[in-house]
C-alpha cells in the first residue's frame, strides 16, 4: 500500500502548526517548526508564506487533518463519505470515525509516542482487541472493546516502561492501572479532538 516516506517535520512546517508526528521531539526545542517556522522550499520573496483564502484555506485544513492521522487522500475521503452517510453533523461524525481507528486509539492510550509508531505496533501484531490479535490500523473500535498489548510483546523494550508512565487519556477511554490495557467507554465527541480543526472547511471542499 502507498504511504508517505518523506520527512515528517516538513509536513508540520507546510501546515504551519504542530501535528505531533515525531512524539516527544515535538514538545522540545528540537521541534523543526520552532527552529524554522517557514514553509519548506525556496525561501525567496515570491515563495514567502502568504495568507491563503478560499479554496486554499479549505485545502490546507484537509491536508492538516490527513497528515495528522497519517492518511492518504483515498483513505481520508472514505471517512468523509461515511460521515455523510451516518446521522449527525458530517464533520463531527468524520472526526469521530478517525478517532476510533485502532492505531489512533492505541496512540491515545499511550502505547506509542506517535500515531505512526502506533500504526507500526498494530501492523506487527502487538495489539489485542477483546483478547484477539488485530493487525489492521483502520479497525474501528466500539464501546466496550478492550485494547491491550499481547502478553508475548510485553517483554519488548518498547513496552517495558509503560507501567511507569503517567498517561492522560481522553474521556472516551479508560486506562487500567497497569497501563497495558484500556477500554472504550464512549463514542468520542467533538470536544475530544485536541487538534485545532475547522472541519466545516473540509466539508465545504468535498461538497464543491
pTM: 0.80
More confident residue, 149 or 31: 149
- Residue 84: what pLDDT? 93
Q: What does the CA dihedral 77, 80, 82, 88 come to, rounded to 10 degrees? A: 180
Average pLDDT over residues 86-102: 95
Q: Among 3.40.50.300, 3.10.290.10, 3.30.70.141, 1.10.1060.10, what is the CATH number of 102-186?
A: 3.10.290.10
Beginning with the edge strand found earlier in the chain, give each strand of the sheet holding 181-184 in spatial order.
132-133, 127-129, 146-149, 181-184, 173-175
Does 36 score more than 80 pLDDT? no
- Residue 179: what pLDDT? 80
Position 35 confidence tier, pLDDT thresholds 50, 70, 90:
low
More confident residue, 171 or 3: 171
Quick one: which of 36, 39, 60 has its CA closest to 48?
39
According to CATH, the superfamily of the domain at 1-50 is Ribosomal protein S4/S9, N-terminal domain (1.10.1050.10)
Position 44 confidence tier, pLDDT thresholds 50, 70, 90:
very low
Q: How many helices (H) and strands (E) does the chain have?
A: 9, 5
181 bridge partner residues: 148
Average pLDDT over residues 163-169: 80
Domain ranges across the chain: 1-50, 102-186
Q: How far apart are CA 41 and CA 96, in angstroms?
A: 34
Let me know: does 39 contact 16? Beta carbons within 8 Å: yes
- Residue 60: what pLDDT? 86
Does 8 score more than 60 pLDDT? no
Q: How far apart are CA 76 and CA 113, in angstroms?
A: 22
Q: How far apart are CA 136 and CA 122, in angstroms?
A: 7
- Residue 12: what pLDDT? 55
Q: What does the CA dihedral 162, 168, 173, 174 come to, rounded to 10 degrees? A: 60
Amino acid at each position: 500500500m502507498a504511504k508517505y516516506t518523506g520527512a515528517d517535520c516538513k509536513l508540520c512546517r507546510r501546515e504551519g502548526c504542530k501535528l505531533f508526528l515525531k512524539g516527544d521531539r515535538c514538545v522540545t526545542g528540537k521541534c523543526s517548526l520552532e527552529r524554522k517556522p517557514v514553509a519548506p522550499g525556496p525561501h525567496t520573496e515570491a515563495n514567502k508564506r502568504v495568507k491563503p483564502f478560499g479554496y486554499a484555506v479549505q485545502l490546507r485544513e484537509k491536508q492538516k487533518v490527513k497528515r495528522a492521522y497519517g492518511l492518504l487522500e483515498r483513505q481520508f475521503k472514505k471517512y468523509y463519505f461515511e460521515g455523510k452517510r451516518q446521522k449527525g453533523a458530517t464533520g463531527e461524525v468524520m472526526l469521530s470515525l478517525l478517532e476510533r481507528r485502532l492505531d489512533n486509539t492505541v496512540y491515545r492510550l499511550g502505547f506509542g509516542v506517535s500515531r505512526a509508531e502506533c500504526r507500526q505496533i498494530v501492523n506487527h501484531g502487538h495489539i489485542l482487541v477483546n483478547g484477539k490479535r488485530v493487525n489492521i490500523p483502520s479497525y474501528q473500535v466500539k464501546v466496550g472493546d478492550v485494547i491491550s498489548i499481547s502478553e508475548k510483546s510485553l517483554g519488548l523494550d518498547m513496552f517495558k516502561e509503560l507501567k511507569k508512565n503517567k498517561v492522560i487519556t481522553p474521556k472516551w477511554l479508560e486506562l487500567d492501572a497497569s497501563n497495558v490495557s484500556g477500554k472504550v467507554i464512549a463514542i468520542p465527541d467533538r470536544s475530544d479532538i485536541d487538534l485545532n480543526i475547522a472541519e466545516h472547511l473540509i466539508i465545504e471542499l468535498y461538497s464543491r
